[in-house]
Every structure is written in C-alpha cells, then in structure tokens.
Structure 1
Amino acid sequence: MALHPFVATMLATQKEAGAPALSAGTPDDARALVAAGRAAIGPGRDTAETREVTVPTRSGSIGARLHVPHGDVTGLVVYLHGGGWVVATVDDYDTLGRELAHHSRCAVLLPDYRLAPEHPFPAGLEDTEDVLTWIGADPELGALPLVVAGDSAGGNLATVALRRLRGRVSPVLQVLVYPVTDGARDTESYRDCAEGLGLTARDMAWFFGHYAPAEDHLHPDVAPLRADDLAGLPPTAVVTAEYDVLRSEGEAYAQRLREAGVDVTSKRYPGVTHGFVRLHHHIDVARDAVADIAEAITTAVAAARPVGHTEKENA
C-alpha cells in the first residue's frame, strides 16, 4: 500500500523544511527535536485523576505518571515510552497514555526510566524491572490485573524485563508496538525502509551506539529475538508498521513467541511509518491501532477477573 496521505504530506513538509534527523546531532539536540513536536500530537483526554508517582529502584528512585480514567478501573497498564533508549519523556507520551486509559478503562502508568548515554544499558532495563516488582508490592496497584506495554525501545524494555522476571511478575498481556528486538540491523525492512521515512537505519545505529557497547548489541537483554528460551512469557499483542525499519524484527519476534507456545496476535498496519500510533488525533489507521490495543487489553483484563466479580467491587 502507498503511504497514508497524511504521513506522506508530513514527511514531505519535514524534508522541505530541512528538518534534521534524530541522529544528526547530540542526544540533547534529538531530545529537543522530539519535544518540539509535542504540541502537534494534540491534547490528551481528561482523566478522573492524574498524579506524579515516585518509584523506588535499586539505583535510587525514578518518577512516573499515573492516569486514572473516569468510571470503574479494571486494570493497570504500565506503558514504556519509545525513543531509542535516548530520547522522549513521559510528557511526550502523555496524550497517548490518556487515550489508552480512556479506551481500556485501565489506569495507565508511564515510568520515566533513565536514558542513555548518561545511563546506558542496563539502567533503563533495571528501572523497568524495579517498576514492575514495586507494583506487585503496592496494595492499590498490585491488586489490579497487570498489562505491560511499550513501543519501540519501550517495547524492548517491556519484553526483556518480563523474560527476566518470569515467575515473579505475571501480567495478563504484553503489548509490543513496533518493538526493537534485534541488534543486527540487517533485515528486509532495514533495507527497504532505510531512508526517508522518519526513523532511518542510521538513526537506529546511533541509538544502539548510545545505549550499549557494540559487543552487547546481540545480547539477549538488548536483542530479545536472540534469547534461547521465550517460553512462559504472557499472551502478546504485536503491532508493526508497513514502512518501518523495525517491521521485520517485530514480526519475527511474534513468530518466535508462537514457536515457544505463547499466545500471540500480530497485525501490520498499512501505509504508516514508525511512531504512527501517537498520531491518533490525525489519521484513521492510528485510531484503529489504539482501538485494537485497547480491545486486546480489555479482553485480557476481563478474562483475568474472578468469576462473579462486579464493577462495583473493583471501584
């Protein structure tokens, strides 16, 4: 399918304006570039409550933002934001977090995990693990069915942390949105989508270079596609984009999970590029993806609730 008209126009406008690539400057330059696009994402939904949370970790503490939707809260989604382990903050994902809370009827927690290069691998991964174990010990959040989700590098952190925490953390679902799953960067989609589509092959090499030394790029805790054993991971929903360097490895990871006996649904969204889910205010494909993700979450959460459980009891 051809590029979605909105995406094609957006990319052409960026090219005409001479917008720099994420990898063109320093990490701070890239962070400023991402932050500058925040307003264009659009406003977020109203919530019953939004509060800042402090999460203790083995390295001190990190912040997180909790969005609580109106009405009965049926579960908790921990959403790890993307950004190549180097850029983006919870502010850049606030709108998406609110949207997921509204549609899924789950509280959504956005952890502000540490970023490279100031805090390289495994800092962000350890923060993710510590958030998930902290939730399990929290009397309020730990009582809710848990979904762990993330996009791009956040999807990488989500699934690696869950593999390392098997037997200790038991989510009802993991949602991996165009996840980073390998460090080889030699797939079909890397060749087909290397340039001109927002996230480039050069950008990904730059992100990997800041996140971890080259000798770790194929380590299973950086490249989960290369893990020997993926059995025991939770049911999984994988989202990929047609025009994305990460498409092939996301779909390959879905297949590896299936082969390991994991219940997996995987959907490739046509005509869109990496990062498209955050454009749900602008394009129908992104709205469809958010709705699909929310449906997967609500279905998994409903299946996990005790027989005879009522909405009132969970309020």
Structure 2
Amino acid sequence: MDRFVRALIKWQAGGRPEPARTLPVAQVRARYAAQAAHARGGAARDAGIETKDHVLDAVDGEFGVRTYLPPTDRGRLVTYLHGGGWVVGDVDTHDPVCRRVAGVLGAVVVSVGYRRAPEHPHPGPLRDGIAASEWADRAFPGRHHVIAGDSAGGALAVGTAMHHRDHGGIRFAAQLLVYPPADPYLRSPSVRRYGTGYLSEVDDLRWYYDQYVPDPARRADREIDLLGADHRGLPPTVVGTAEFDPLHDEGVELAVRLAAHGVEVHHVPAPGLVHGYLLMADIVPAAAVATKKVLTAVEQMLAPMPMAQ
C-alpha cells in the first residue's frame, strides 16, 4: 500500500470515527465534507478556470449544478456526477476533481448537485443526473459530451448513459467510471478482503444502499445491479479501480462485461490506492498520478475525434 495512504488511514483511525451507519445523516454529510476539505490540503484553486452555479428546475423541485470553463477550450463537455454513496458529497467536496477534469481535458464541466438519499431515494438522483446532462447538452451544444462519475456517481453515470441510449437521447462520446459500485449484493472477494480497515467499510456500504434503495426488490433494477444490465450500445468507457478497495473486483467485472457487450473499454488500475483516491490527489502523490492516468485514458479516446463545432 502507498505509504501516504497508509498514513492517512492511520490518521483517520486515530480519531476513532463512529461508523456512518450509527450517525444521523446530517452528521455523516458534515464529516465527509470535512474530510474532503482536509484532503485538499490547502491546495490553491486552478488559475483561469471560471465557475458559475446554476439552479435547475425538476418535475418535483429543483437542484443545482456548477459549471467549470477551462482556460483552453477543446470543444469538450463533461457531465460529472460526484461520489458519496448517494447520501453524502456535493459540488463543493468534488470541486478539485472537476477542476482537474476541466484543465486536463480542456472541457467544460457540469458538476451535478443531484438530490441525495434518504430524502430522495432511487430513482431520484438518477433522474437529476439525466436532467442535468440534458441541460448541459443544450447549454453547451456541439461538443463531444462525456458522462462521468466516481463511486456512486459512476453508477449514476451508467444509468444516465443507458437512459439516453434507450430513449434516443444524447450520444455520449465517452464514459468515465472511477471505482463504481456495480453489485448491490456486495458478493465479490474484494469486499471480504478489503471491507474493513481501508477507509471504506463494508457495513457502511450496505447502509448507503439501504438509504438509496430501501426496497430490496428494487436492487435488481438495471441501474443498481450493473453487473446484470445490458451494456450494448454504450459509449467507449474508461473504468478506474483502486487496489485496496472493497469495490475493486466488481469494477473489474463491470469492465469485463462492458467489453463482452461490444463496448470499447480501457481499464485503469491504481496500485496501492484505496477507494476515493480522486479526492486525495492534492495530498497523495500516487493518487495524483492515478487521476492523471484515468484522464489520459479519456483523452486518448477523445483525441481521434475532430474538434467539435
């Protein structure tokens, strides 16, 4: 394991944090936000990237998005869905991630502040992701559009791509999924191997699923059980996994199943790292390297495409 990650695990364990499943949701969200702020390590914001917050109307309410305009615009657009178990995380916790995406890819990034569980269980966050991707496509037309997300946001990204495929919607140029949850039943060997002591606790993962999909029968839905879904016709996909992650094996299996369904897939492993490494890129050098690798893989998929008009 990377020595910086080992130190981070030791630092967090020293605080004897209570499991997420034992705390009020508001407290879990506040703790996650504080941990994300710590992981930024006081890093300065990227010069030249302009941001603006917007409020979008939904059928049953409203939600926010944040746009990032890169200093060098290469005619690309990324709709980004943040991680956090569908319960925690927001556009602020993932602000550094979206800045990196915008800067490296030369893309306008639309970061989606989808409404979260348990107040808005499945399919609420997915509907917000779909609506945000449609808004992004209208607001920034004529671009090579990438659907992307990390952790829970990765699963939402797949669900969004499947919706557009099935309804004649957006034809995404690529899909970026970083350590996505793909098996709501948590059956893979890596769950048993890395389910305790590696920052992401398996019992907390089960709790996140309980908040997002409280009806066990709905866990067979294709947007939840991604390993059982039909992936034919989905866009070229980059799948990033972390070595010491309970979700490692299901991420690998998702990549295999995408390829079996005829999808172009580039699997990018992250040796020595844990779940959530995108948020550690400012304080863990290996996480910065892994983040660059997954974005480079997306760049390689997009590079042959002519500049969008």
Instruction: State whether TM-score is above 0.5.
Output: yes
Rounded to whole Å, the distance in 2 between the matches of 1:152 and 1:134 is 23
Deviations 1:36-81 (A, max 9, x none): 1232222332234111122333333321011111123431111100
Name the structure 1 match of 2:227. 225
For residues 181-260 of structure 1, what are the structure 2 equivalents within 5 Å?
Answer: 181-212=182-213, 213-227=215-229, 229-260=230-261
Q: Which moved more, 1:292-301 or 1:271-280?
A: 292-301
| Aligned residues: CA RMSD | 1.5
Rounded to whole Å, the distance in 1 between the matches of 2:284 and 2:16 is 24
- % of aligned pairs identical? 32
Amino acid at match of 1:133: E
What is the TM-score normalised by the length of structure 1? 0.92
Rounded to whole Å, the distance in 1 between the matches of 2:68 and 2:48 is 7
Report the 3-state secondary structure (helix = DSSP H, G, I; strand = E; otherwise coil) of the residue aligned with 1:62: strand
Report the 3-state secondary structure (helix = DSSP H, G, I; strand = E; otherwise coil) of the residue aligned with 1:300: helix
2:6 aligned with 1:8: yes
Rounded to whole Å, the distance in 2 between the matches of 1:98 and 1:208 is 29
Report the 3-state secondary structure (helix = DSSP H, G, I; strand = E; otherwise coil) of the residue aligned with 1:6: helix
2:153 aligned with 1:151: no
Rounded to whole Å, the distance in 1 between the matches of 2:196 and 2:66 is 34
Q: Is the 8 A contact 2:86 2:208 kept in 1?
A: yes
Name the structure 1 match of 2:112. 111
State the shift of 1:151 in Å: 0.6
Deviations 1:140-183 (A, max 9, x none): x1221101110110000000111121031111110000001111
2:265 aligned with 1:300: no
Q: Of 15, 34, 40, which aligns to 2:38?
A: 40
Deviations 1:219-278 (A, max 9, x none): 212112111x21000000000011111111111010000000000010221111110121
For residues 29-178 of structure 1, what are the structure 2 equivalents within 5 Å?
Answer: 29-42=27-40, 43=43, 44-138=45-139, 141-166=140-165, 167-178=168-179
User: Structure 1 residues 137, 71: closer, same or farther in 2, change over 3 A?
Assistant: closer
Q: Which moved more, 1:22-31 or 1:108-117?
A: 22-31
User: Structure 1 residues 303, 54: closer, same or farther in 2, change over 3 A?
Assistant: farther
Q: Is the 8 A contact 2:158 2:223 kept in 1?
A: no
State the shift of 1:301 in Å: 3.1
Rounded to whole Å, the distance in 1 between the matches of 2:273 and 2:136 is 34
Amino acid at match of 1:218: A
Q: Is the 8 A contact 2:51 2:67 kept in 1?
A: yes
Give the unaligned 5+ runs of structure 1: none
Rounded to whole Å, the distance in 2 between the matches of 1:45 and 1:115 is 28
Report the 3-state secondary structure (helix = DSSP H, G, I; strand = E; otherwise coil) of the residue aligned with 1:65: strand
Q: Is the 8 A contact 2:83 2:149 kept in 1?
A: yes
Give the unaligned 5+ runs of structure 2: none
Rounded to whole Å, the distance in 2 between the matches of 1:55 and 1:143 is 21
Q: How many aligned residue pairs are there? A: 303
Name the structure 2 match of 1:283. 284
Q: Is the 8 A contact 1:54 1:64 kept in 2?
A: yes
Q: Is the 8 A contact 1:53 1:63 kept in 2?
A: yes
Rounded to whole Å, the distance in 1 between the matches of 2:199 and 2:118 is 22
Deviations 1:170-227 (A, max 9, x none): 1111000000111111110111011111111101110000001212122212112111
Q: Is the 8 A contact 1:75 1:146 kept in 2?
A: yes
State the shift of 1:136 in Å: 2.8
What is the TM-score normalised by the length of structure 2? 0.93
Name the structure 2 match of 1:25. 23
Deviations 1:63-107 (A, max 9, x none): 101111112343111110000000011100001111221111111
